[in-house]
Amino acid sequence: MNRQVTASKRPASDEYDIVIVGAGPAGLLLSTCLVRWGYKVKHIDNRLEPTKTGRADGIQPRSLDLLRNMGLKSAIMAHEPAKVYEVAFWDPKSASKGIQRTGTWASCPAFVDARYPFTTLLHQGMIERVFIADLEKNGAGVQRPWTIKDFSTCEEVNPEYPVRVEIKHIDGGATETLKAKYLFSGEGARSSVRDKLKIGMKYKSPIVHTWGVMDCVVKTNFPDIKMKCTIHSEHGSIMVIPREDNMVRLYIQIASSTDKDWNPRKTASEEDVQNSAKKIFQPYNIEWERVEWFSVYPIGQGIADNYTLDHRVFLGGDACHTHSPKAGQGMNTAFLDALNLAWKIHHVEAGFADRSLLHSYESERKLIAENLLDFDAKYAALFSQKAPAPKDVAAASARGAEVQSPGAEQNQFIKTFKESCEFTSGYGVAYDPNALNWSASHPARSIIINPKGNKNRTGRILINSNVTRVVDANVVHLEQEIPVNGSFRIYVFAGEPSTTKQALQDLTRSLEQPFSFFATYLRPDIDSVSHHERHNPHSHFYTFCTIFAAKRSGVEISRDVPTVLARYRDNVYADDIWDHRVSDTKAAAHTKMGLDEKKGGVIVVRPDGYVGLVVSLVEGTATADALNEYFGAFASKKLGEVKAQL
């Protein structure tokens, strides 16, 4: 509920900040964020209720981080999802007597520094209900079964609410006409909004793969039925995905075709697929106790030409990209599409960012979708090739793999494996340089940006670390300490209190100068903010954290932390928790970030968790100047015109 800057007048009953069509993962994450941040959302879905059977089920490690950051992880874990830690490979035995295990690998090996090194498998409907419960807690919800009838955008007619949207009950009776600032289609692969806009889908290849998929409960002596398995046999291939409640999902690639009129749904019945599976699993037996869902469907590798045409009507999720289900990336990519858009709409509508910020939604997310499709093809090849030698898996999985000899690096399998682990975990997602993700070509040119040794990469997620919160001595995950509140996260790694005393004072004095981003975007209601407000006492633009390289008992907030930062008293930390990844340092968080233990440094993280800028913490105005330069690249107002002065 932090929408305050442009709250000039109350919207009329038919005026909405956004109309969201489709209550799958993309639509729900978007509405959950925007509703929490105080926006008026009309969310419709053409189904009578959330997904009952089938669809997506895989939550990757980085998505679980995100769900935790949104406070939704425990509700998801309450359903006791399956957790996949390893993938097993099964291949034909040499003697043609069925299949044998040829190896296993970690699905998220130790070289990926993940909080949750596993994939979480749960029926999409349960995940949807977690979001819906959160929406309802905040007085919102999904209007069902309603669909979109028509829409048009005209900035001239209504500059404030330029999108006109007609929606109707699927029975065809009731209709509503709405005025909105934005329209979002999270309708899935068959997006009517995309069709109406005549946005084309580009297909990587004319081949359409047909998949049979079955969610079921089985009785089997196959030993890896609770692991993710890729099984190749003389009778075909199958992928096994364990699920909650003793269920298992079986994927069988049935056929491929380039014939447009080919109807694969006729090619395989439930019984056909079970008979195929029985043969593939030999010498193990398998019986079905229950089939919850069965479907045969064709999937091509496609990507939408555009995610938006006018930066008022946006697409996200499957409406933008389709690919094989093998790598379990669909729901995760949809979540991150929506998160990327959510905060950008927020920063534009709150008056923080220039409207051009919205352009970065397509440029950032389309790149990720393209990477996903490339990866999907490589991953499929990786799975269809002969199983890797155990020594290669061991070498690739080892934590030190990244510093191996040149010979080892040239092994294509290891390279692809490592990339795929990073990619499927979500930790490999990287945005290209732009106004948000600093690079040498960014308008911010300060020489103290990107200090030597810095380990965080802009466009990538912040490195994980454990620290101790000073006020209550709780040991916490630093990257989780600021919730998904739509604010930039400014981590002031303050090194040793005695060393950085002056630098901290100079920084905060500079922040308080007019024209700084800090002073420019102060809350209009700042005088009436509760002293309990933890993250946004000054502004919804930013939240500050201060981390000292000291023992908790050695940090005294009233003595060591300047007033501006001390206002975030619950966000002051001691970097005093030992970490096995950097076992020989006293300040593990500083070390993991690649920041000087004595002098610290400042890391700016975007509202969606990606690193935007890393800058040295120095005496004088340079640190604040660099921050102003960075934010000035996309802020709604000129910043730092008059350089900060002490």
Binding site for its own copies (CB under 8 A): 74-75, 77-78, 82-86, 104, 118, 217, 219, 221, 223-227, 242, 246, 468, 471-475, 531-532, 552-553, 556-558, 570, 580
Q: State in angstroms the smallest separation of the CB of 466 from its own copies.
A: 13
- Using CA atoms, how far apart are residues 520 and 541, in angstroms rounded to an integer? 10
In contact, 310 and 359? CB cutoff 8 Å: no
Distance between first and last Cα of the chain: 35
Contacts 24+ apart (CB under 8 A), 563-566: 563/508, 564/508, 564/511, 564/512, 564/518, 564/538, 565/492, 565/504, 565/508
- Shorter beta-carbon distance to its own copies: residue 394 or 526: 394
- Provide the β-strand partners of residue 628: none
Task: Say which DSSP state 525 is in.
Answer: T
Q: State in angstroms the smallest separation of the CB of 86 from its own copies.
A: 4
- Shorter beta-carbon distance to its own copies: residue 299 or 582: 582
- Shorter beta-carbon distance to its own copies: residue 250 or 254: 250
Q: State in angstroms the smallest separation of the CB of 359 from its own copies.
A: 38
- Shorter beta-carbon distance to its own copies: residue 116 or 630: 116
- Shorter beta-carbon distance to its own copies: residue 285 or 356: 285
Q: State in angstroms the smallest separation of the CB of 219 from its own copies.
A: 6
- Shorter beta-carbon distance to its own copies: residue 217 or 519: 217
Q: State in angstroms the smallest separation of the CB of 136 from its own copies.
A: 16
Q: State in angstroms the smallest separation of the CB of 376 from its own copies.
A: 24
Task: Say which DSSP state 414 is in.
Answer: H
- Shorter beta-carbon distance to its own copies: residue 166 or 287: 287
Residue type, 330: G
Q: State in angstroms the smallest separation of the CB of 453 from its own copies.
A: 27
Q: Any residues with CB less than 8 A from the CB of 545 and at least 6 apart, and which?
A: 478, 481, 482, 489, 490, 491, 492, 568, 571, 572, 573
Annotate 379-393 with DSSP letters as a single string: HHHHHHSPPPPHHHH
The two tokens of residue 75 are 């509700």
| Phi–psi pair at 318, nearest 5 degrees | -60, -20
Q: State in angstroms the smallest separation of the CB of 122 from its own copies.
A: 15
What count of other Cβ atoms lies within 10 Å of the Cβ of residue 196? Answer: 14
What order of strands is seen across the sheet that includes strand 228-233? 99-106, 86-92, 228-233, 236-242, 248-257, 208-220, 286-299
- Shorter beta-carbon distance to its own copies: residue 76 or 296: 76
630: three-class secondary structure by DSSP: helix
- Torsion, CA 503, CA 504, CA 509, CA 515, rounded to 10: 90
- Shorter beta-carbon distance to its own copies: residue 169 or 226: 226
Nearest to 491 by CA among 352, 417, 592, 410: 592
Q: Any residues with CB less than 8 A from the CB of 427 and at least 6 apart, and which?
A: 61, 62, 112, 113, 114, 460, 461
- Shorter beta-carbon distance to its own copies: residue 78 or 642: 78
Answer positive or negative: Cα dihedral of 500, 502, 507, 509.
Answer: positive
- Using CA atoms, how far apart are residues 471 and 474, in angstroms rounded to an integer? 8
- Shorter beta-carbon distance to its own copies: residue 133 or 642: 133
| Phi–psi pair at 146, nearest 5 degrees | -120, 155
Q: Strands, E, within 425-470: which ranges?
A: 466-469
- Shorter beta-carbon distance to its own copies: residue 171 or 584: 584
Q: State in angstroms the smallest separation of the CB of 322 from its own copies.
A: 30
Task: Say which DSSP state 402 is in.
Answer: G
- Shorter beta-carbon distance to its own copies: residue 117 or 351: 117
Q: State in angstroms the smallest separation of the CB of 545 from its own copies.
A: 16
The two tokens of residue 277 are 């599976």
- Shorter beta-carbon distance to its own copies: residue 157 or 475: 475
Buried-state track 611-640, b at ≥16 Cβ within 10 A, e below 16: bbbbbbbbbebbbbbbbbbbbbbbbbeebb
Q: State in angstroms the smallest separation of the CB of 284 from its own copies.
A: 10
With vertex at residue 346, the alpha carbon angle to CA 169 and CA 370, rounded to the nearest 5 degrees, is: 80
Q: State in angstroms the smallest separation of the CB of 428 from its own copies.
A: 22
Q: State in angstroms the smallest separation of the CB of 282 from its own copies.
A: 15
In contact, 335 and 186? CB cutoff 8 Å: no
- Shorter beta-carbon distance to its own copies: residue 452 or 532: 532
In contact, 31 and 135? CB cutoff 8 Å: yes
- Shorter beta-carbon distance to its own copies: residue 105 or 542: 105
Beta strands 86-92 and 99-106 are antiparallel
| Phi–psi pair at 503, nearest 5 degrees | -60, -40
Query: Distance between alpha carbon 18 and the CA centroid of its chain, in Å?
Result: 21
- Using CA atoms, how far apart are residues 598 and 548, in angstroms rounded to an integer? 9
